[in-house]
Chains A and B, each alone.
Chain A
Amino acid sequence: MRQERNNIFVGVDWLLVILFVVLVGFGWLNIYSASKSEEDLEILSFSTKYGKQLIFICLTIPLIVLILFFNSKFYEKFSSILYIISLLSLVGLFLFGKTINGATSWYNFGVLGLQPSEFVKAFTALAVAKLLSDRQYNFKLVKNQVKAFFIIFLPAFLIILQPDAGSALIYLSFFFVLHREGLTLYYIIIGLAIVVLFLLTILFGTTIVLSTLLGLITVFTAYIVYKGGKRFLRFNWYKIIGVYLIVTVFVLGTGFSYNNVFKQHHRDRFEILLGLKQDNQGIGYNSYQSELTISSGGISGKGFLKGDLTQGDFVPEQHTDYIFSVIGEEWGFLGGSLVIILFMLMMYRIIYLSETHTNKFGRIYGYSLASILFFHVIVNVGMVIGLLPTVGIPLPFFSYGGSSLWGFTILLFIFIRLDAHKKYDW
């Protein structure tokens, strides 16, 4: 028994490890295809994207060993410290960060750039798990809810300041975790309603949406009053007025902020997605090329390194955010579906394992991991296949970039560590 505990691989969920290896390996093949050019021959080299990525992948091995080396207890105990360090790394950006494409998201170490926001997710997940797993913690108390929101949204806020709204958006995924731990579903429903209302307002304009909604509410209220009588009105009139006010303020606010607070490139992204604007050569070029590239793959794809659009470098940022379009073109519907299914399997497995945890900390952390993965996949793949607006976040394990890869490796393997330990004693 003792010997087994010294072996860091004991209890490791090999299915997750296999999924990790497959996703990372397949990801690298696609990065290779997207970034190779005729002249480059060396594979392990800092001079090419795929060479660098291979080095990043190799470096995950010591990282994994290191993560597995620590005891589960370590992560629980040091979660707060790790969280604070990660927050400091975000704050430090404003002093030492490097600005690329208008966002100060990077630390620059010569050949290597590090993007702290990719790592903070993992430590925020630890902090959330730590907070919610506390026996004293009662979610019914608004004070506790605010505490949780604070932990979650503090890093998101710092990331928005970079500004990198896409990466900050990911923190919304923690709502799933909070819901699992007892937060009322209303938050998610309200959140969804906000999104729907927002899109409707952009599509049809404030006047139509507002008048339709107020009309519907009036009809609905009239119906209830008719059914429930004046009694209902007497007790609930403030609620009714509140609904009217909230809807009006929100719709008008959306209209106002969309036109005055949003930047033109944000508006463009929404309008292209909703079909309000078409510009396949200008602002809509990425989405258009991406869809075209995926369509051209057909059922079984054109084959590895044989995608003309990929090889011709037609899709911008194809090795990073648009990596899924390489899969679409060269591996076709079968390859694309397989990748989606692999991600689904990974998430199912993580949730399944989390639910078997007797320890709340492990379960909450696992849930955070699944939710973060879920959000990343939705936002990234949804963008590449033209279902969601352009938001620049990477596809986990696939997209080019050391920070992203390592961030997800840390996220995943901390969970594997926690999970390996649950079979033993706590």
Chain B
Amino acid sequence: MQKSLLLYTLITLVGLVFIGRLFQLQIVRGESYDPIHNSAVEKKFDYPERGYVYDRNGKLLIANQLSYDVMVQPNKVTPLDTLEFCKLLKITKEDFYKRFNRSVKFASYKPSVFLKQLAKEDFAFLQEKLHKYKGFFIQKRIIRDYPFKSAANVVGYISEVNNQLAKSSTYYEQGELIGKAGIEKQYELFLRGTKGKKYFRKNKLNNIVGSFKNGAYDTLPENGKDLTLTLDLDLQQFGEKLMQNKRGGIVAIEPATGEILALVTAPSYDPNMMVGRKRSSNSVVLMDPDNLEKPTYDRGLKASYPPGSPFKMMNALIGLQEGVIDVNTTFKCFHGYRYGSRKGEFMGCHCNIYNRPISLKTAIAKSCNSYFSNTYKRIVEKDNKPSKGLDSWANHVKSFGLGNYLGYDLPQGSPGFIPIGKYYDDAYRYSWNASTNISNAIGQGEVQTTPIQLANFTAAIANKGYFYTPHILKKVNGKPIDNPNFTEKKVTSIKQEHFDPVIEAMHEVFKTGTGSGVKVKGIDICGKTGTSENYAVVDGKRIKLEDHSILVAFAPKDNPKIAIAIFVENGGYGSRIAAPITSLMIEKYLNGKISEATKYRETNMLNISLKSEYDKLIPKKEEEIASGTK
């Protein structure tokens, strides 16, 4: 018996090891084993239709259209007349081999795209002929269609997911489409819906042999949701037209709701350029970093510049709130404001009311630099420490949504910049006072804002002290949005009463001031023009260019319906381009049309081109090359 012990023991041992291994494989590992991720199961997706997008008046902004791809399954291809085939597809022979080899490399027993998105007329013709070519067939696909060739910056575009995302995501697979910009990106989850899954059993030859577990794991596709935007397409298109041959942005907001009525950036592009066969070559042009027009850069959301004179209203409001001035406070202007004893420490002013007291209302209407320098100095120096004064100033400013991302629902943006006490403490080692950064008084200096922030600031003035975060989405599948970020009031740190004198003064601007040239009969416009100096380095030389013009306005004065901010690169004085465009936009929105009396303004604006100004930015060398080839 003793001698048999060895074999008994070994048999027992091996048996236990084997059962242990089975335990490890089938219970430890089997638990996490997903029956669906299995080479015997093929997953097929049922793609839902992507949601449609409408403007606030129900006009279709984004739709879907059918597209036709030529597919190829290399192992089914029989020898063919390449020359004739290439002619049919309008490709070269080299291109044919390149594409074919790519498909072979991908998998010769699986169909892959040979030629993407045929033109509709090509499709009809091809369908008749293609049966001759074994292994080639046509597959229908749904692609996006943008019936109105505008608001490219808002609608955005879709394209194939990148490899990285396809790998890390649990939803997206290689070759699927995803929103890459604008609404398409922001509301991807609403628009895409949920794709359905169907599982099939297959054998090792990849042939499907039946459904997997009678469809127990299958899911139905869920269609994308239709979105209604706050955008007013008519106003949007009108704004885009007015901005032709100019660079800049217009942001129009409904003050009572924060709904974005128009978000114009110029120059822009036709969103259909990002659809179809020419997509990739178009996107190269559009996204070329050397393209100074930057058509994919949303100037309304991203252009961050010193706000200029419209910021004077901010300082007026803060001054009133902090009690350093009241409606009767007057300052004298001596052709400017001397903030230091040294030569050059002087800020000029062109208010034309010199050496006599100026009231707040006049100061805003005439845009007096001295008045607001005095006010700003009082605000900052209210406390014995300037950083403390500046901090409370900055808090007031930030309560208008300036100095940080506003939180609107579009995937582009810029925070702007509002300095706080620490910023100057660090820069000047605690030795500074209001004079050090006196330019903040008139919206120059360190302060930076974007047009949408200014539009929101204007809406907050129109509302006398509160705003709703600007947003572009109005309804999802017909149901109004309930995102508290957009439906809850944000209150500024300025009391309501302080807005009245400021609004009166803004009204004065369009009655007698810089906006008086663009009055619209029957509409009381309140606003403020401004300019922002700018320089550029071209060919290694720093040159001063025409000022950017800026304008903020709202209308009507009572019960405001639209707040607007406009920014025109190198537009010069606000009254030249910004004011007429603002007035036209307001008239269009409030009256629905441009009256005969103001039609000339529209014509004027359409005719103005700033191309010669922008050409100064083009490096000379390139120009020489360009002229040399002529």
Task: For A313, list chain B residues within 8 Å (CB).
Answer: 203-204
Q: Does A102 touch B at the CB level, under 8 Å?
A: no
Q: Which of A213-221, A288-296, A393-401 contacts B (4 or more CB under 8 A)?
A: A288-296
* Chain B: minimal CB distance from A271 (Å): 20
Task: For B26, list chain A residues within 8 Å (CB).
Answer: 294-295, 297-299, 328, 332-333, 336
Q: Does A414 touch B at the CB level, under 8 Å?
A: no
Task: For B3, list chain A residues within 8 Å (CB).
Answer: 179-180
Interface string of B6-21 (1 = CB under 8 A from A): 1110111011011101
Q: Which of A1-9, A151-159, A304-312, A405-413 contacts B (4 or more CB under 8 A)?
A: A304-312
* Chain B: minimal CB distance from A49 (Å): 16
Select from chain B the residue with minimum beta-carbon distance to A382: B18
- The contact of B25 among A180, A355, A374, A385, by CB within 8 Å, is A385
Task: For B25, list chain A residues within 8 Å (CB).
Answer: 291, 294-295, 328, 385-386
A370→B21 CA distance, assembly (Å): 23
Interface string of B220-258 (1 = CB under 8 A from A): 000000000000000000000000000000000000000
Q: Which residues A331-364 have CB closer than 8 A to chain B? A: 332-333, 336-337, 340-341, 343-344, 347-348, 351, 354-355
A179→B9 CA distance, assembly (Å): 14
Interface string of B339-365 (1 = CB under 8 A from A): 000000000000000000000000000
Select from chain A the residue with minimum beta-carbon distance to B14: A378
Q: Contact: A355 with B4, CB < 8 Å?
A: yes
Interface string of A191-226 (1 = CB under 8 A from B): 000000000000000000000000000000000000
Q: Does A381 touch B at the CB level, under 8 Å?
A: yes
Select from chain A the residue with minimum beta-carbon distance to B199: A308
Q: Does A250 touch B at the CB level, under 8 Å?
A: no
Q: Which of B31-39, B418-426, B603-611, B612-620 contacts A (4 or more CB under 8 A)?
A: B31-39
Task: For A348, list chain B residues within 8 Å (CB).
Answer: 8, 11
Q: Does A371 touch B at the CB level, under 8 Å?
A: yes
If A332-B26, A355-B1 touch, does A374 touch B35 (CB 8 Å cutoff)? Answer: no
Q: Does B209 touch A at the CB level, under 8 Å?
A: yes
Task: For A385, list chain B residues within 8 Å (CB).
Answer: 18, 21-22, 25
Q: Contact: B6 with A179, CB < 8 Å?
A: yes
Interface string of A43-57 (1 = CB under 8 A from B): 000000000000000
* Chain B: minimal CB distance from A331 (Å): 10
If A351-B7, A374-B7 touch, does A340 touch B15 (CB 8 Å cutoff)? Answer: yes
Q: Contact: A312 with B7, CB < 8 Å?
A: no
If A294-B22, A370-B7, A387-B21 touch, does A308 touch B38 (CB 8 Å cutoff)? Answer: yes
- The contact of B27 among A299, A351, A354, A387, by CB within 8 Å, is A299
Task: For B203, list chain A residues within 8 Å (CB).
Answer: 311-314
* Chain B: minimal CB distance from A362 (Å): 14
Q: Does B201 touch A at the CB level, under 8 Å?
A: yes
Q: Contact: A374 with B11, CB < 8 Å?
A: yes
A343→B12 CA distance, assembly (Å): 11
* Chain A: minimal CB distance from B207 (Å): 9
Q: Offer 10 A-B interface pairs, CB within 8 angstroms, sorted by A.
A: A294-B26, A295-B29, A298-B30, A299-B26, A308-B41, A328-B25, A336-B19, A340-B15, A347-B11, A370-B11
A-B CB proximity, top 6 nearest: A312-B40, A308-B40, A333-B26, A312-B203, A298-B30, A344-B15
Interface residues of B (CB under 8 A from A): 1, 3-4, 6-8, 10-12, 14-15, 17-19, 21-23, 25-27, 29-31, 33, 35, 38-41, 201-204, 209, 212
